[in-house]
Structure formats: structure tokens, C-alpha cells
Amino acid sequence: MQHYDVIIIGAGLAGASLGYLLQKQGKTTFIIERADLNKKDKLCGGLLTKRSFKLFRKNFDQNNILPFRKFQNFTVKTRRAATTIRHDFYSISRKQLDDYLVSLYPEAGGTIFSPIKTYSLNLHKRIVTTEGGTPFSYDTLIGADGIHSKLRTILTGRSQRKNFALETQLPTNTSAELVIHFLDDLKGYAWHIPNNEHLMLGLGDVSEKTNLRPRFDQFLATQNCHSKNLRGAFLPTGNDIFLGKGNVFLIGDAAGLASPIFGEGIYYAFVSSIALAKALDPKTSSFNSETSCHANHNSESASHNHAAKTYRALMLPYINRLKREHHLKKFIFNAKLNQFVFRNYHLSLIKPFVDRFVAKYL
């Protein structure tokens, strides 16, 4: 039976990022991916905040290979106001971003098994068996299998809480603006995000509603377009976080890591993959891949406990941030408050407050 230091379930943004980082550490890893990577195209506006962009460039794209579209401001629209706020964002096709990160992993020596529709797990014996009946053993197992994480359900006995979003794409143009729409009858927002390939129009709700189609059609009508290639997806609520248990760790959407207000998951995919890579690094952890196969059960448990504590400690500031965002939701999506704030954004008491909020949470 072939043995790996780490097996990762899911070759999305978080899984591919972590696999790449672990390969650079010298670990033996492989990734199991359910979807056909040539066809995989996750619903996502493809918008990176400044903090996401900096993490990506520093850890995965130091040569500036990917062609991001930069925005130096964005417009917030409510029923009675339109306010332009200065803040940097970067947009790109989500498939282009995912494909690039997936390409880094085999370049670093990793192997992806895709598409693997089914697999079985024996967590006690630490064995993953693919649909062809081939077993693989591991020291550490990672769940990067998204919002519907099978691994998370096995560990917790339930699926995580979810929000819902709808999106469509249209041909883009160079003059298109980046716009966020706060709608009076929605606890969420709609987006108008141009990238170098398409104009992404979407709508998300943070109250766990799923019947958004009528409201989305109304929004599209205000944009003088109709729903084409309409897609829907569930998103983490950001307040149902689970990082793993024992030698099994979760990252990205599988861990429930996303902004409760904005639904931003890209940043937390990067943050959690970088944090877990540090926690599993022999330089910063007692985990040692060269001896773990021969270590006794107690020392293996101790090494994984140390890695788990390190991972949780590194993630704690971000989890606390998500908790604060969750408490702020009722204010952010209060229609009357939005109308007042953005109609009076120019006032000396309001503009600094809004700008500080944007700088802190975006």
C-alpha cells in the first residue's frame, strides 16, 4: 500500500494552495478531486480584496503571471443613493485563478486523482480507498472539499449551515464599473463585477434563504439584461466553523470560513491553507514526516495535537474577526441605515467611519 504524509480531499482554491505549500516543504502528498478539472468552474464573482491579492502574490504568484483587472474604487448603490468609495480591488475569472493554482501543484511534484466520483475512508486505520479499489495510507488527512464536505459531515454528524447565491455572466467591456447593490428587501447584496473575460452579475442572501430566483430576475431587469447561464451555489455562513479533529483538518469552505457579511471565501481559503501549512511544517511543529510512519501511537497523537493547536492559534484572529462580522450583519443590511449612511457619505462624521470599516473588513 502506498503511503503519503498528507492526503487532501478537494483540488479547489484551498486544497491546491495547501498541496503546493506542503510539496515545497518536502512532504509526500496527493489530492483527490471529485470533479473533472477541465470542466470545473466554481460560481464566484472572482473579486479579490487587497488583502487577498497581497497573500496570493506573496505566496503563489511572485512573478505576476495572472492578468488581474484592478479597480481603485467601487460604487455602492441603494434605492436612493449611489456613493463611490476609494478602495483597491482586483478581479479575475475564477476558473483562471483555480486553474493556475492547480497547475502549481504538479509542478511542485504533487499528484491529482481526478475525477474521482466516490471514495471510502477508514479514519481509524488512516486509509483512503478510491473508486477503483486502490487503498492509500496517510499520516494527515485534509478536507478541502467545499461547502458540502463529506469529511466534515463524517466528523460532526451534520452538514454545515449555508447561505445561497445566484450568478450569471455576460460579455464584459473595459468601461464597466465595480458596483455593490444593497437592496431593501434582501439581507445581502447584489454585485456587478467586470473581469478581463466577463461581466459577473450575482445576488446573495445571508439569511439562509434559497428562493432567490424571482428577486434575481428583478435585479437583472434593472441592469437591462436577462438571466443566461444562471448558476446557483451554497456559501458558508461564516458562523459555523469547524477546523478538524485529531489528524484530520479542514480548510476553506469545508471549515466554514467565509465572511458573514460579504461572503468572501477566497481570502480565507488562502489564510487557512497558509496557516495549516505552517502548523504541519517540521520547522514550526513537532510533526516529522520522516519518522511519523515508525513513531508509536502516543508520539503520533502528540505531533498531531501540536499541529492542531498551532493551526487553531494561527486561525484564532481570523475566527474572531468573523464573529465580529456576524454581529455586524444586522446593521450592515438594515435598509434604513444604509439609505442614511450612503446618502450622507460626504459628511465629515460619516465618511471616516465608512472608510475605516471598508479598510478593516475589505
Per-residue confidence (pLDDT) for residue 298, from 0 to 100? 61
Extract the C-alpha cell encoding 98: 483555480
| Other beta carbons within 10 Å of 254 | 32
Give the model confidence (pLDDT) of 294-338 as tens digits: 445 566 677 888 999 999 999 999 999 999 999 999 899 999 999
| Other beta carbons within 10 Å of 268 | 29
Extract the C-alpha cell encoding 251: 480548510
Out of 33-42, 55-64, 219-228, 303-312, least confident range: 219-228
- Smallest Cα–Cα separation from 176: which of 79, 88, 91? 91
Q: What Å distances lie between residue 13 and 107, 144, 273, 329, CA to CA? A: 16, 9, 9, 26
**CATH top class, domain 2-361:** alpha beta
* Residues of the chain above pLDDT 70, percent: 94
Give the model confidence (pLDDT) of 335-362 as tens digits: 999 999 999 999 989 999 999 999 999 8
What is the distance between the alpha carbons of residues 296 and 332, in angstroms, rounded to a whole number? 52
Per-residue confidence (pLDDT) for residue 30, from 0 to 100? 94
Out of 87-101, 109-123, 147-161, 166-180, least confident range: 166-180
Which residues 6+ apart lie within 8 Å of 247 measured at CB? 126, 139, 140, 141, 300, 304
Per-residue confidence (pLDDT) for residue 285, from 0 to 100? 54
